Each structure stands twice: as structure tokens, then as C-alpha cells.
């Protein structure tokens, strides 16, 4: 979706392609007379003629909504789709994020949350058609707009979203895996897919026509589409589409009818009025036009997949929340008992060919209550276990995360400098995205000897003072850099992470660095091997600004159903959380507005459930989490 509050007319040439089959060239279109004939022998057909969509010989109005399989745990795919059905939708639209399916070169993932074929089959079983947004670029407030981060580690640098031959070769390889999986799911082959979108919002990015033609060569038919906000008069825009399409190939369609909006850390939660949203949809549907709600259900940016946007320059960086609730009619937890769902359902009912399914009830959300956690270890204490020694890199100057294969999370940079007779000034001109700086004497092996210096942030980069410490050796410098999510939209899309410049101390560039990629793949075994440090007196809680792991547990009685819940992080500072080894995302209540993280029931279990958090700064003074039954997103943000 477009990441700009102001409406922009996005003419996406060749953007949506009706796939009867894949072909290296665009064949001549069939005659209108032939297109209007009813399918013979029960053949399934979906096509465009007379500025209309046609399905099996009848005009068809798309009333759809975006629901992304990769933002919902698979056990809830059917639940969320049934709620979309109750909203009155006849079509589901979803992106396909390349980075989910090829996390490293030629490592293909199509199971779990990446099992797109199962998702599409469930959609078909429930009677939905599907509009598939295959990319390779998707935006979507998703890390790097869906591109795999390893593309940024290739030298010479690739030119993304272009006809760069090296880039296209990788796109061809990816689509060579994806498209054969999609082929049997096309509508003409008995599946649910009626259209596939090529690229996304390219008109706002570039004009590389050979690139688009290369992508479109995989498809047979195409149409142009425009996205516009719920406040725009749609008909003039629909008329404008006709200038860019073949005669009769411009059925009025808005592929992104915004039901809400995204929110970044540090902003107030974006909300839109239910009645005005419904009125705008009514205006479109009353013109016999088609619309796809963005979003019908937003879901959650689990793990490290949330993206980011910029303002006027790349330093004006705004990271997206873990929650992708989007103020959609179907809320993050599946809640439909809200004004927006009811208002949109009432409008859609008027244009539905049959009665809508009964109004669904909300899933139950449990308040499991307070959870006391205990410190397990400092990140620096268990660094040897979080980072395989063979993965440690030695370089003269800092290099990006991607160049050493660290695609998400954290990278620790370490160096040394001679003891100074007084304090020093430290400067790192380019940090992507957030760096915590520590020092200690090089020969010291006690983690308590670490001294926190400060934090450098991409959006407020500054130099700061490093205090004098008396050492019998050199001073060790530790810089823990966090990747907060790569840009997913705009001219600065090529968004490498880490220290992207020299580190300067008192005007002198520091050399000889060691880089430690931090991995959480073996986190549970690491924490089991480290004794939990109990703190009897809350007044003795160590509040120093150092990254530490904390662990706690809660129990679900076998007599009770396992239910969704939310973990409230009020009183904590910033970090990431895992529940039963599942990364539920980033928390940052100090910045807000999101103060809780959604925990879907399928990742919970009867009996003991383990919560592990990495707090990057100061913990809750009583080392307490709270499992609550509401999202608690709203929080006042000081201007």
C-alpha cells in the first residue's frame, strides 16, 4: 500500500494481470463476441470486457479485502477468512513476500506461516476468489517491501525494482519456483485465483518500462488500476484509467480502499471514522464499481518482519509497530464487535447476491494475570552461545549486517582504543538503526564492569562524551546495533543495516573490529543452561542500561480452553519477546503507542508456558509482566 497520508494518484501500468495461463508474450485479445459467450462444458472463466469483470458468463462485482496469510498464524486462517465472509466479501487479496519464502539464497520455505497453497485452498473451500499480489516488490509495511535482505549483501550492489540483469536473474529464479505453485490454483484451472498483480505502486517510484515488461511477460492479460483514499470522488479516477488501458479493459476497481491506516512507533494510533468509511464504500459500490478493502484484517508483524518509512530524507526514519491492526474492521485478535465492521457489513449487504452469514462472535481473550520474571543472563554473558565462533567476523572497518549474512535483529561491533588521559568524544555518522554503546577495560571479564555510554539513533544521531576510565590495558568499545525494520517504500529502499560509516573517537577513526551476529535460534537451550537469578527484594533489581534476558512462566489448567491473550509491557523499556520459542515481536512502551503484544492461542499450550524477553535497557522495577484481555494500544504521546 502507499505509505503517504496525502492521496497520490498511482497509475500502475500493467499492474493487475488476469492469468488464464503464463506466456512469454502478450497475445491478441479475444473478440468481444467470443468473450461474452457462456463457458462450454462447465469451463470456469474470468475475464474483462466492456469495462466489466465477467465470471462464467455473468458480470461480476468484486467486493474484496486484504488478509495476509503471513500476518496470521495458520491455525487461524480459516477463522479470519470466515469473519471476512461474514463481512460480505467475495474476494480475498493477499501479497506474497519473497523474503518469507526465500530467507537465504535458494532456501525455499513453503510450510507453516509460509504455506501459501494451504491458505489459498482454504480460501477456495470457503467460497472466495483470490487476487494475488505476487510482487516481487510488495511494500505492505513489510521489511524491505518483501525483498529478501540478502539482496543487499550482493556486490556490486543490485539496482532493485529495475531491469538490472543481475536483479532480474534472481527475480526469474524466485518466480520460477512460485509461479508453478500458483498455476494449478488459477480460476481457469479450477482454483480461486482470478488475478495476479505484477509489482506494486510502481508509478510512484520509477519508469523502467523494460522492467515491467519483463514481469508482465509472465502473464497473458493485464489492466491498470489506481489506488485512492476513502475521501476521493472515485468516478473521475475510474475514467482516467481508460486512457491507459486497451478499449473495454477498464472495469472500475480500487484495489486499495483504505479502511484505516498504519502507525509508527512514537505516533498516536491511526484511526478512521466508521461511518465515513462506510459512506465512501457505498459511493463506489453504488457506481457498480469494484473495491478491495485495505485492510479487511491487518494481523500482526511477528518476529522481525515489520517495515519502516521515511519522510523527507533517510534520517527521517519511522519504524512500524509490531501490531498491524490497521483499524481494520476485523481487528488484530479477530474482533468483529465494532462499529466499523457493522457499518461496512451493512453497506456490503446491499450489493451482495445473497444473504450474508450470521454475525460472528468474538474469540475469547483470557486474562492470565501477572507473571513474575527473573533475570537469566546478560546478553554479553551468553554471547558465546548466541553467536557461533565461526560466524565472528574480523574487519578493519565496520561493515553492514547484510554483507556478513545477518539479516535481522542485532549485530555487536567491538573494538579497542588506548586509555585516554581524560574523557573523549565519540561519533558514528551513519547508524541504521539504533546503537547502544558500552565500554570497559579490555582485560576485565566481569560483565558488571560494563559502562553504558548512551544510545545513537538514526533519526537523532549525535556525538556524545565517553568518560575516562582507569585501565591497565586498552579500553574495549561495544556497540550493539539493532535493525528496527528496513524501509518498505520510497526512494531510499536500499536500506542496509548496521554501522554504515567509520567510528570516530576524538577525530580519529577506529580500526580493527570484531563483529558478532546475534542469533536467537537456540535461545531456549541457552537459557536452560544458565541458572535463573532470583531477586527477593524488588529494591535490589539491577536497573542499569544493559541488555538482559528475563524468563517467566504461567500455567493454563487442562480444564480450561487455551485462549488468546495480550502481554502488557507497561513499566518495561524496549526489547523483543518470545512465547514458547515463538517470536511475538518488538515491544517499546517507552516510545508507544503500542504497550501490549498479541499472543494467539495456537502458540500456547495446556500446562506451563514460557515467556522470555530481551530487555535492552531497564526492566520493570518489580520484574513483572501482565497478561491481559485487551490490546491496550492507545497511549498518549507527548508532542
The Cα 405–Cα 208 span in angstroms is 29
The pLDDT assigned to 214 comes to: 87
Q: In this structure, are 439 and 489 located in the same domain?
A: yes
* Same domain? 478 vs 601: no
Answer yes or no: is pLDDT of 389 > 70.
yes
Global confidence as pTM: 0.91
Q: Are residues 180 and 327 in the same domain?
A: yes
CB 81 within 8 A of CB 128: yes
540, 508: one domain? no
Instruction: Give the pLDDT confidence score for residue 1 in this predicted structure.
Output: 60
60/197 same-domain check: yes
Flag whether 382 is in a domain.
Answer: no
Average pLDDT over residues 618-625: 97
Q: Is residue 500 situated within a structural domain?
A: yes
Q: Which region among 110-119, 259-268, 536-545, 620-629 has the lowest average model confidence (pLDDT)?
A: 536-545
Residue 56 sits in a domain of what CATH number? Answer: 3.20.20.80
In-domain check, residue 337: yes
Q: Which domain holds residue 580?
A: 369-376+522-628
Last residue of a domain, one of 462, 487, 518: 518
- Give the pLDDT score at 2: 47
Q: How confident is the model at residue 141 (pLDDT cuts 50, 70, 90)?
A: very high
In a domain, 31, yes or no: no
pLDDT at residue 6, as a whole number: 31
Domain assignment present for 635? no
Domain check: are 51 and 139 in the same one? yes
- CA distance readout (Å), 232 to 8, 29, 62, 341: 10, 32, 19, 21
> What separation, in Å, do the N-terminal and C-terminal C-alpha atoms of the chain show?
27
Looking at the fold, whether 128 and 181 belong to one and the same domain comes out as yes
Grid coordinates belonging to 110: 513453503
Are both 171 and 185 inside the same structural domain?
A: yes
Is 138 in the same domain as 68? yes
Q: Is residue 293 part of a domain?
A: yes
The residues with which 449 forms a beta bridge, in sequence order, are none
Give pLDDT, residue 559: 81
Question: Which phi and psi (to 5°) does residue 253 adopt?
Answer: -145, 130
pLDDT in tens, 286-326: 999 999 999 999 999 999 999 999 988 999 999 999 999 99
pLDDT of residue 236: 75
Highest mean pLDDT among 6-10, 14-18, 118-122: 118-122
Q: How many whole angstroms separate alpha carbon 95 and alpha carbon 256?
A: 12
* Same domain (yes/no): 505, 526: no
| CA distance linking residue 435 with residue 507, whole number of Å | 19
Domain boundary among 460, 493, 518: 518
| 5 located within any domain | no
Lowest-confidence region among 25-39, 430-444, 511-525: 25-39
Same domain for 60 and 118, yes or no, is yes
Query: Peptide bond preceding 156: is omega within 30 degrees of 0, i.e. cis?
Result: yes
Instruction: Write down the pLDDT at residue 577.
Output: 98
Does 31 score more than 90 pLDDT? no
Residue 37 has pLDDT above 50, yes or no: no
**Rounded mean pLDDT of 552-567?**
94
Give the pLDDT confidence of 168-177 residue by residue, as tens digits: 999 999 999 9
pLDDT score recorded for residue 232: 59
Q: Phi and psi at residue 415, in whole multiples of 5°?
A: -150, 180
The grid coordinates listed for 501 are 560509516
Give the pairing type, strands 424-427 and 565-568. Answer: unpaired
Beta strands of 57-206 (E only): which ranges? 58-60, 63-67, 91-95, 129-133, 193-197
* 350 band by pLDDT with thresholds 50, 70 and 90: very high
Positions marked catalytic: 201, 256
- Residue 184: how many other CB atoms lie within 10 Å: 11
Q: Does any domain span residue 38?
A: no
Lowest model confidence (mean pLDDT) among 201-210, 330-339, 446-455: 446-455
Q: Average model confidence (pLDDT) for the chain?
A: 87
Select the more confidently predicted residue: 265 or 633.
265
pLDDT of residue 219: 58
Across 409-423, 441-455, 590-604, least confident range? 441-455
Question: Residue 558 sits in a domain of what CATH number?
Answer: 2.60.120.260
Tally of domains in the chain: 3
Digit-coded pLDDT (tens) for 441-454: 987 656 557 999 99
Write down which residue in 498, 518, 538 finishes a domain. 518
Do 111 and 147 belong to one domain? Answer: yes
Least confident range from 19-28, 99-108, 257-266: namely: 19-28
Residue 111: pLDDT over 90: yes
Report residue 433: phi and psi, to 5°: -130, -25
Amino acid at each position: 500500500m502507499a505509505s503517504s497520508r496525502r492521496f497520490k494518484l498511482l497509475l500502475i501500468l500493467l499492474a493487475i494481470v488476469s492469468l488464464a495461463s503464463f506466456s512469454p508474450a502478450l497475445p491478441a485479445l479475444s473478440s468481444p463476441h467470443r468473450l461474452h459467450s457462456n463457458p462450454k462444458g462447465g469451463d470456469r472463466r474470468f475475464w474483462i470486457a466492456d469495462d466489466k469483470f465477467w465470471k462464467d458468463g455473468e458480470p461480476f462485482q468484486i467486493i474484496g479485502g486484504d488478509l495476509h496469510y503471513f500476518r496470521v498464524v495458520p491455525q487461524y486462517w480459516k477463522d479470519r477468512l470466515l469473519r471476512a465472509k461474514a463481512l460480505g466479501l467475495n474476494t480475498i487479496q493477499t501479497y506474497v513476500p519473497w523474503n518469507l519464502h526465500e530467507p537465504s539464497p535458494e532456501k525455499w520455505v513453503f510450510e507453516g506461516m509460509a504455506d501459501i497453497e494451504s491458505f489459498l485452498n482454504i480460501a477456495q473451500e470457503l467460497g472466495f476468489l483470490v487476487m494475488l499480489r505476487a510482487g516481487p516488490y510488495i511494500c505492505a509495511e513489510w521489511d524491505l517491501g518483501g525483498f529478501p535482505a540478502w539482496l543487499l549483501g550482493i556486490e556490486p550492489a543490485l539496482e532493485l525494482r529495475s531491469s538490472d540483469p543481475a536483479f532480474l536473474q534472481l527475480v526469474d529464479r524466485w518466480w520460477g519456483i512460485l509461479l508453478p505453485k500458483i498455476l494449478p490454483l488459477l480460476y481457469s484451472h479450477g482454483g480461486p485465483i482470478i488475478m495476479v498483480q505484477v509489482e506494486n505502486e510502481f508509478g510512484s517510484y520509477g519508469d523502467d518500462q523494460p522492467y515491467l515488461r519483463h514481469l508482465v511477460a509472465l502473464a497473458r492479460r493485464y489492466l491498470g488500476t489506481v489506488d485512492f483514499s476513502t475521501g476521493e470522488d472515485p468516478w473521475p479516477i475510474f475514467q482516467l484509467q481508460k486512457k491507459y488501458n486497451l478499449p473495454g479493459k477498464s472495469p472500475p476497481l480500487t484495489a486499495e480502499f483504505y479502511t484505516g491506516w498504519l502507525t509508527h512507533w512514537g505516533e498516536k494510533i491511526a484511526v478512521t471514522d466508521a461511518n465515513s468509511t462506510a459512506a465512501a464504500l457505498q459511493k463506489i459500490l453504488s457506481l457498480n464499481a469494484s473495491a478491495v478493502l485495505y485492510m479487511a484484517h491487518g494481523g500482526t508483524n511477528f518476529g522481525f518482519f515489520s517495515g519502516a518509512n521515511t519522510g523527507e530524507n533517510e534520517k527521517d526514519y519511522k519504524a512500524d509497530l509490531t501490531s498491524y491492526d490497521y483499524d481494520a474492521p476485523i481487528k488484530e485478535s479477530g474482533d468483529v464487535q465494532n462499529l466499523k465492521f457493522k457499518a461496512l457489513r451493512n453497506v456490503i449487504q446491499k450489493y451482495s447476491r445473497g444473504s450474508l452469514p450470521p454475525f460472528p462472535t468474538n474469540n475469547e481473550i483470557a486474562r492470565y494475570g501477572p507473571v513474575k520474571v527473573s533475570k537469566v543472563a546478560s546478553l554479553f554473558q551468553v554471547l558465546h552461545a548466541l553467536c557461533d565462533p565461526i560466524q565472528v567476523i574480523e574487519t578493519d572497518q565496520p561493515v553492514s549486517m547484510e554483507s556478513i549474512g545477518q539479516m535481522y535483529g542485532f549485530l555487536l561491533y567491538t573494538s579497542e582504543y588506548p586509555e585516554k588521559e581524560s574523557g573523549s568524544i565519540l561519533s558514528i555518522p551513519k547508524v541504521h538503526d539504533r546503537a547502544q554503546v558500552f565500554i570497559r577495560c579490555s582485560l576485565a571479564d566481569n560483565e558488571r564492569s560494563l559502562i553504558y555510554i548512551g544510545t545513537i539513533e538514526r533519526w537523532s544521531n549525535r556525538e556524545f562524551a565517553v568518560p575516562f576510565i582507569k585501565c591497565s590495558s586498552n579500553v574495549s568499545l561495544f556497540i550493539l546495533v539493532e535493525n528496527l525494520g528496513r524501509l518498505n517504500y520510497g526512494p531510499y529502499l536500499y536500506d542496509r543495516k548496521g554501522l554504515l560509516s567509520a567510528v570516530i573517537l576524538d577525530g580519529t577513526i577506529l580500526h580493527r573490529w570484531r563483529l558478532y551476529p546475534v542469533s536467537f535460534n537456540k535461545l531456549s537451550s541457552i537459557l536452560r543452561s544458565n541458572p535463573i537469578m532470583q531477586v527477593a527484594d524488588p529494591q535490589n533489581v539491577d536497573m542499569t542500561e544493559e541488555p538482559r534476558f528475563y524468563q517467566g512462566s504461567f500455567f493454563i489448567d487442562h480444564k480450561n480452553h487455551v485462549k488468546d491473550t495480550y502481554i502488557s509491557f507497561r513499566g518495561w523499556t524496549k526489547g523483543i519477546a518470545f512465547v514458547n520459542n515463538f517470536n511475538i515481536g518488538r515491544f517499546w512502551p517507552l516510545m508507544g503507542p503500542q504497550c501490549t503484544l498479541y499472543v494467539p492461542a495456537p502458540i500456547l499450550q495446556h500446562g506451563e508456558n514460557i515467556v522470555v524477553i530481551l530487555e535492552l535497557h531497564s526492566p520493570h522495577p518489580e520484574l513483572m509482566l501482565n497478561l491481559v484481555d485487551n490490546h491496550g494500544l492507545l497511549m498518549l504521546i507527548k508532542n
